[in-house]
Chains A and B, each alone.
Chain A
Amino acid sequence: MNAKPSADNTATGQAVADIDIYDLCIVFDTPAGDFTAVDRVSFQARPGEFLCLLGPSGCGKSTVLNAIAGFEPPASGQMNVLGREVRGPGPERGMVFQQPNLFPWRTVRGNIGHGPRMAGKSRREIKERTDRLIEMVGLTRFAEAYPHMLSGGMQQRVALARSLANQPRILLMDEPFGALDAQTRAMMQEHLLALWAKIGATIVFVTHDVDEAVFLADRVLIMTASPGQIRSDLTVNLARPRDVSMLSEPAFLELRRTCLEVIREESARAFAQQGVAWTPTS
Chain B
Amino acid sequence: MILFPPPTIVARGMMRWVESGDFVLDLWTSLRRVVVGFLLGASVGVIMGVLTGRVQLISSLLSPVFHILRPIPPIAFIPIVILWFGLSETGKLFLIFWGVFFMVWISTHLAVQNVDKGLIKAALALGTPERLMLREVIFLGALPVIMVGLRTSVGISFYTLVAAELAGTVAGVFFRIDIAQQNLQTGQVLGGLLVLGLLSFLADRAFGAFAKRAVWW
**A interface residues with partner B (beta carbon < 8 Å):** 69, 71, 88-91, 93-95, 97, 99, 101-106, 114-115, 118-119, 146, 148, 159, 162-163, 166
Chain B interface residue number, banded? 10 to 19
Partner of B126, one of A71, A146, A162: A162
In Å, the complex CA distance between A97 and B118 comes to 8
B119: chain A residues at CB < 8 Å are 101, 103
Contact B122 A97, beta carbon cutoff 8 Å: yes
| Chain B residues whose CB sits within 8 angstroms of the CB of A69 once the complex forms | 125
Residues of A contacting B126 with CB < 8 Å?
Answer: 91, 94, 114-115, 118, 162-163, 166
B127 to A104, Cβ gap below 8 A? no
Within 8 A of A (CB), among B98-143: 116, 118-119, 121-129, 132, 136-137, 140, 143
SS class of chain B's interface: helix, strand, loop or mixed?
helix
Assuming the contacts A105-B140, A118-B132, asked whether A99 and B118 have C-beta atoms less than 8 A apart, the reply is yes
Contacts of A99 in B (CB 8 A): 118
Cα separation A162 to B136 with both chains bound (whole Å): 15
Contact for A89 among B116, B124, B136, CB less than 8 A: B124
Query: When chains A and B are docked, how far (Å) is the Cα of A102 from the Cα of B125?
Result: 12
A105/B127 in contact, CB under 8 A: no
Which residues on A sit within 8 Å (CB–CB) of B122? Answer: 95, 97, 101-103, 159, 162
Chief secondary structure at chain A's binding surface = loop
Given contacts A71-B121, A118-B132, A146-B217, contact A103 B127 (CB under 8 A): no
- Is the CB of B4 closer than 8 A to any CB of chain A? no
Contacts of A148 in B (CB 8 A): 217
* Cβ–Cβ contact B127 & A97, under 8 A: no
Are A104 and B217 interface neighbours, CB within 8 A?
A: yes
Inter-subunit contact A103/B137 (CB<8 Å): yes
Contact B128 A93 (CB under 8 A): no
Are A101 and B129 in touch, CB under 8 angstroms? no
- Measured in the bound complex, the distance between the Cα atoms of B121 and A101 in whole Å is 9
**Extra pairs beyond A97-B122, A105-B143 (4, CB < 8 Å):** A97-B118, A102-B122, A118-B128, A118-B136
CB distance from B134 to the nearest CB of A (A): 13
Give the residues in chain B near A102, CB-CB below 8 Å. Answer: 122
Report the Cα distance A159→B125, complex, angstroms: 12
What's the least CB distance linking B143 to chain A, in Å? 8
User: Which among B121, B137, B217 is the interface contact of A97 at CB below 8 angstroms?
Assistant: B121
Please indicate the chain B residues that have their CB under 8 angstroms from the CB of A114 in the complex.
Answer: 123, 126, 128, 136
Report how far A163 CA is from B143 CA in the complex, Å: 25
Closest B residue to A94 by CB, please name it. B125
Interfacial chain A residues near B116, Cβ < 8 Å: 101
Name the residue of chain B whose CB is nearest to the CB of A88.
B124
Q: Which has the most chain B C-beta neighbours within 10 Å: A69, A90, A103, A115? A: A103
Q: Report, nearest first, the 7 A-B pairs whose CB atoms are least far apart.
A: A91-B127, A101-B122, A95-B125, A101-B118, A115-B126, A89-B124, A105-B217
